[in-house]
Amino acid sequence: MNPNSQDEPTQPQKVDPYEEILFSGYIDTEIAEMKTLMENWDKATYPTLANSIVNHADRHDFNNSYLKYLRKANNFTKKALERQYLAMVQIDGIKEMNL
pLDDT in tens, 55-68: 999 999 998 899 99
Backbone φ and ψ for 56, nearest 5 degrees, come out as -65, -45
Domain ranges of the chain: 17-92
User: What is the identity of the amino acid at 34?
Assistant: M
Distance CA 15, CA 55 (A): 18
Question: pLDDT tens, 36-51?
Answer: 999 988 888 999 999 9
User: What is the identity of the amino acid at 31?
Assistant: I
Confidence (pTM): 0.64
Distance CA 25, CA 45 (A): 27
